[in-house]
Amino acid sequence: MKRIFALCLLSLALTNSSCAQKKDFVVTIKTNYGDIVAILYDETPKHKQNFIKLAKEHYFDSLLFHRVIEGFMIQGGDPNSKRAKAGESLGNGGPGYTVDAEFNPKFFHKRGALAAARLGDAQNPAKASSGSQFYIVQGKIIPSSELSSMKIDQAKLNSAMPKYLSKPENKPIYDTLGKLYASGQTEAFNNKIVSLAEAVEKETGTKILKDVPPEKIKAYANIGGTPFLDDSYTVFGEVIKGLDVVDKIAAIKKGASDRPAEDVRMFVTVAEMSKKKITKEYGYVYTETENKK
């Protein structure tokens, strides 16, 4: 009887543990233009834990979206913005610490991506994130020519190109590139270079083409984003409701340093919710692996 009772308790504990593991945190950023709702990725735990901590402490409350660029992103989280005067330059404040970079190839700067701002490479070679400043990608649809260049390691292509062009049989290509460059046809010149990547790789033996997940190409082609930021800034979440609010904020008239002419304040809350409910209410679909966590 004692053994059966113990097994029942163990079964109950495992059941409760499994249920607890299938919950997640939903972030709500309230603004006077509406609410933006996001989830935070488990695969970027330092950023997730830090953001939740700050939100629970009401750190973000009444801070501004102090930098907005239409077609690019909206940025906030500078504590100096809470009592900033009109026209005051912002963007240098923080909680006094940084968060280690957590780059993950699964996460990229598609429309709606939630990512961490940071200091530039010269001051910050480790690309550590700001402790509190973040941005939400609005982005734009990426044309096919740019999508093709995403598959290319530009530095390696530039390095291998002279060897490729020095071959006598490739002189016609060399001449064509020279004419395009001399006539100022920059776009045509760049497109031609990109089109040669596969041939340069094959003839020089230099690995130039990168393996880019098809879902990444599809996202940038269909919903847009800012791919040039990939692998340089940590993406740690995504918007699951309120992209129209992001669009409204991005379109606000701006003053100096891309600061909105009117103050757009945020009030951030986090709520724990079952993953099943998140999917039902917001349409966010977890992968099979994520559902087991």
pLDDT value of residue 19:
44
Angle at which helices 171-182 and 154-165 pack, to 10 degrees?
Answer: 120
Q: What is the pLDDT of residue 141?
A: 97
Looking at residue 88, its pLDDT comes to 94
Domains of the chain: 25-143+219-291 (2.40.100.10), 152-204 (no CATH)
Say what the pLDDT of residue 90 is.
Answer: 97
pLDDT at 8: 46
pLDDT (tens place) for every residue of the chain, 293 residues total: 555 545 445 554 544 544 445 899 999 999 999 999 999 999 999 999 999 999 999 999 999 999 999 999 999 999 999 999 999 999 999 999 999 999 999 999 999 999 999 999 999 999 999 999 999 999 999 998 788 888 898 889 999 999 999 999 999 999 999 999 999 999 899 889 989 999 999 999 999 998 899 999 999 999 999 999 999 999 999 999 999 999 999 999 999 999 999 999 999 999 999 999 999 999 999 987 677 67
Q: How far apart are alpha carbons 155 and 212 in whole angstroms?
A: 17
